A and B are shown apart, each in its own frame.
Chain A
Amino acid sequence: MGEIQKYKDLIRQRAADGDLEELATDLLKAAVANNGNWTGLWEGVLARLLELPPDARSRVADGLVTQYHSEQAGPNARQSALILLGIVSRDLPPHDRLTAERLSLLDEISRQHSFWWGARYENLIEAELAAGRPVAPAVVATVRRSALHAYHNDDLPRTAKKLTEPPLNVGEEWAEEALRETGPAWLQLLTHMLTATAAKPSAKWDKQAAALADALGSDRVREAVIRWLALVGHPRTFELERGRYEPDVNSAYDPYNANALRGLAWLLSLLPAHPDTARTLGVLVESSLKKVAGLGPRNPKVANAGVNALARIDSEAALAELARLATRVTYKNTAKLLDAALEARAVALGLSREEIEELAVPAYGLTEVGRAEHRLGEATAVLEVRGTKAVLTWHNASGKPVKTVPAAVRRDHAEELKELKAAVKDIDKMLSAQSERLDRQFLADRTWSYATWRERYLDHPLVGTLARRLLWTVDGTTVGHAEGSLRTLADEPLTEGTEVRLWHPVDHAPAEIVAWRDWLERHQITQPFKQAHREVYLLTDAERTTGTYSNRFAAHVLRQHQFHSLAAARGWRNRLRLAVDDEAPPPSRDLPRWGLRAEYWIEGDGGEDYSDITDSGTFLRLRTDQVRFYPIDAPENWAHCAGGEYRMWLRDGADPVDPLPLAEIPPLVLSEVLRDVDLFVGVASIGNDPTWQDGGADGRFREYWTSYGFGELNQSAETRRLLLDRLIPRLAIADRCTLEGRFLHVKGDRHTYKIHLGSGNILRTPNDQYLCIVPKSNPSAPQAGYLPYEGDRMLAVILSKAMMLADDRKITDPTILSQL
């Protein structure tokens, strides 16, 4: 404080004495004292300086030039000199002071994402403008981005406003493509797009946008906008330097251009409907929600604008796109918007939310289940769904199959060809979205009337390709679709019914489940997701004892970021745990159909000295605890991010709500929830990563890793055991193998080994030395394998290891030999 006053006084003193060159030295000293940060009370110093008459300031400027060139000046002092020079030379006659140096600093700035407003770089720009020189587009871009964060400061935004050329920031492919349109009407349109700063367009904004688009011709505008938006998310045309602790700025959107993107999305919804429009907006939403290191979703604002735009378009294609996105988007805010949009559409049509999603699935030109023929002149195109992919094949005039698109089609039917190819892509995307939606129907516990179900599922041209590969329960009888009709286990056709449900193994006896698996195999049906082979999790004795919680998946160590995205994909709500003093609710999944909420308790683990955290302070790993169930409206539990007890957060004198006894949870719900949790542990646990055998830093996870890799068998490992039991006697190495408990024992010539049936990890007996052998990640060697559907890779790994170890004299791989 006293120091600031000192410099204020000094300015008056030096000016009175005429020691203006010395004043320059003092100012640089001040810059050292305040670290080049002229904000707060230091602003007063600059204000005092600006009160000096022009000729005095001109002499200060000369002094700064001298200081800049003096030998003692370091890089910081030089930078401060350049900025102070910009300030003192404001409205002085143009003068060639340190121009080259300033341009070189600006060039440096142009490679940054943004700078802090307190750095006062706007003075460099002002000096350039005063000299009558245009500012380089890349510099303009940095200044605009920085101005977005200039709190309590008017100078930087004021300078940024003066930079009107180019209308969009350079550096992004889509923007540079848009900037190639140079006509005044296009410029006006782009400028208007940048004013899309609100969450929703106002009537006035719409009116002006529509008028500007009309002037250019709406078809022309739509084509251009769709072309630009297709480039969104491409790598930057020039890279920015990524500062320390800065997110991955090269993968993020330019925040200044993002407003224009929002405007362009809104604009599309004002133009006459077109199939490309819905497609483009859908891609924009997904690409805007892609995650970027240190930032999270790239730009939710743009994603939301895409959803808003789709919601405003009254077309079947737009509704289909909304329904597809609703199954894909996990970012909460956007998911809510999608939900609201679908809900609104449902209300308008007098349907339920589920029904609207069912009706929103378009056929994409398929005329029968999974198939359509299109005649294009002489040639015929056959569009077929095979598995989860759509395939386009061609036949020439005489009906013979041809491998490539006939030349006549390319020539005479370019537009239809383009549309067909787009349909193929749409079908692929929709198939995976629908497959996920069907997978979620287990917990939705839906029933359909037979006629409705046939129309929307079994006989639907697109959904039918999935529904016909699933098992259903019609009035209590399980049926599958084979040879053109619904059939029972005994292959009796079934042609009518009243009520249909999706089949789930938990409701059926093991013998029946196995019989259905055989049935599927016999009819060579590949299921779109695990249904007949779905793992079933039944209540255990341990869980009957603990009563209200399950410890089945407790005490695991998970990779937090992997867990977080898996959880979102399976419909769980979760918050990333940061290594800060904060509390969070546990990951939880709402089950509205059952009035339940499932919780999986976790806590952050940063290591003893918090070294296991990311740059942004997020825990790399989590420790897991119980799984519990509560009534859906029970108050939330909270716990400290770094661990500690979960407590119920009670408001307005409410009573705490007890967890529900596991025995009262419907078996289907318990099974599906525990299946999710098993997936989290199975995928995200550090236990299944062989590089963790040393237990990580200081070996603190060694014990965990060992117990995971060699502990009790889970459901799938038990199945594996049964299969091996059947298989091993048939192998050449049968006399060298024995199955005992959790291990397959293999007698080699050098040693005897045991392979864990759960993890496939190997121990050498008798000393239990760990032997690290892993599947080759990208085998160049010829690989065998025809799989009727994805098999159990772990069993293949175990068998391969057994084959190799039974003949351990023949091993030549030095990475394995060194361990023997």
Chain B
Amino acid sequence: MGIVMFVDETTSGSRSDGWGLEIAEERLAVRELIRRRVFQEVAEYNARTPAVFQGLVQPEDTERVLNGYALRTPRRIDPEAQTELALRAFAGNGFLVLVGDRQVTELDEEIDLVLGTEVTFLKLVPLVGG
């Protein structure tokens, strides 16, 4: 059991201070790690329902604003649906996950969570041919 630090890194090179999440297991699949992160941030949002959701992926029917996503109508966010979106984004290169200094690419990959493990999320953009 230990605290895993979640850090959001942006492409301008800055890092968020990071926030800790208590995780009982010593090994966890990437899929589960993402799910826990999403559940945690959705739970925090639903407790306070501020106007802007700051989370890993954009919920449905929201507008992208600086520092998050604005909800068109205030409502609770469904953590299951949000996890589904996050897993799809991961599969489609919507964001990268670095555990420690290494990128993980498979959802089923099991990772060791030693004390103070840092998990970094890095955002990418969708591309098309022009």
Using CB atoms and an 8 Å cutoff, list the residues of chain A in contact with chain B.
386-388, 391, 403, 517, 521-522, 524, 526, 533, 690-691, 719, 723, 726-727, 729-733, 772-776, 779, 781-793, 795-797, 799-801, 803-804, 813-819
Contacts and interface: CB of A to CB of B under 8 A. Distances in A.
B66 A790 contact: yes
B10 A787 contact: yes
Interface string B62-105: 00101110000010000000000110110011111010011111
24 contacts: A391-B51, A521-B14, A521-B17, A719-B13, A733-B103, A774-B127, A774-B128, A774-B129, A775-B127, A776-B127, A776-B128, A779-B125, A782-B92, A783-B64, A784-B57, A786-B55, A786-B68, A787-B10, A787-B66, A789-B12, A791-B10, A793-B11, A799-B96, A816-B127
Given A730-B101, A784-B95, A789-B14, A526 B67 contact: yes
Interface in B115-130: 121-130
Contacts of B101: 729-730
Interface string B37-67: 0000000000001011011111000001011
B58 to A, nearest CB: 5
Contacts of A388: 66
B93 A517 contact: no
A783 B58 contact: yes
A792 B103 contact: no
Nearest to A800: B124
B57 A782 contact: yes
B94 A783 contact: yes
A379 B17 CA distance: 37
Contacts of A774: 127-130
Given A729-B101, A813-B129, 4 more contacts: A387-B66, A731-B96, A784-B94, A786-B123
Interface string B103-117: 111000000000000
A787 B126 contact: no
A814 B49 CA distance: 41
A374 to B, nearest CB: 19
Contact of B123 (A387, A517, A521, A787): A787
B123 A784 contact: yes
Nearest to B90: A784
Contacts of A781: 88-89, 92, 94, 126
B129 A788 contact: no
Interface in B1-52: 8, 10-17, 49, 51-52
Contacts of A779: 125-126
Output the residue of A727, A730, A789, A813 with the most chain B CB within 10 A: A730
Interface of B: 8, 10-17, 49, 51-52, 54-58, 64, 66-68, 74, 85-86, 88-89, 92-96, 98, 101-105, 121-130
A521 B7 CA distance: 13
Contacts of B16: 521, 524, 786, 788
A818 B94 contact: no
Contacts of B103: 730-733
B11 A799 contact: yes
Contacts of A391: 51
A782 B82 CA distance: 10
Nearest to A391: B51
A662 B103 CA distance: 47
Given A774-B130, A787-B67, A782 B74 contact: no
Nearest to B12: A791
Given A526-B67, A784-B89, A533 B12 contact: yes
A819 B127 CA distance: 14
- In order of increasing CB-CB distance, the 7 nearest A-B pairs are A815-B129, A784-B95, A785-B123, A791-B10, A816-B129, A791-B12, A795-B11
Contacts of A799: 11, 96, 122, 124
A814 B64 CA distance: 28
A533 B14 CA distance: 11
B72 to A, nearest CB: 13
B83 to A, nearest CB: 11
A517 B14 contact: yes
B12 A782 contact: no
B57 A783 contact: yes
Contacts of A723: 11-13
A691 B130 contact: yes
Output the residue of A517, A784, A795, A800 with the most chain B CB within 10 A: A784
B85 to A, nearest CB: 4
A782 B67 contact: no
Nearest to A733: B103
A816 B13 CA distance: 29
A782 B38 CA distance: 14
Contacts of A517: 14
Contacts of A731: 96, 98, 103
B3 to A, nearest CB: 19
B85 A782 contact: yes
Nearest to A388: B66
B11 A783 contact: no
A355 to B, nearest CB: 31
B124 A796 contact: yes
Output the residue of B68, B92, B96 with the most chain A CB within 10 A: B96
Contacts of B54: 786
B67 A788 contact: yes
A136 to B, nearest CB: 44
Given A521-B14, A781-B126, A730 B102 contact: yes
Given A789-B14, A796-B125, A804 B66 contact: no
A775 B125 contact: yes
A733 B124 CA distance: 14
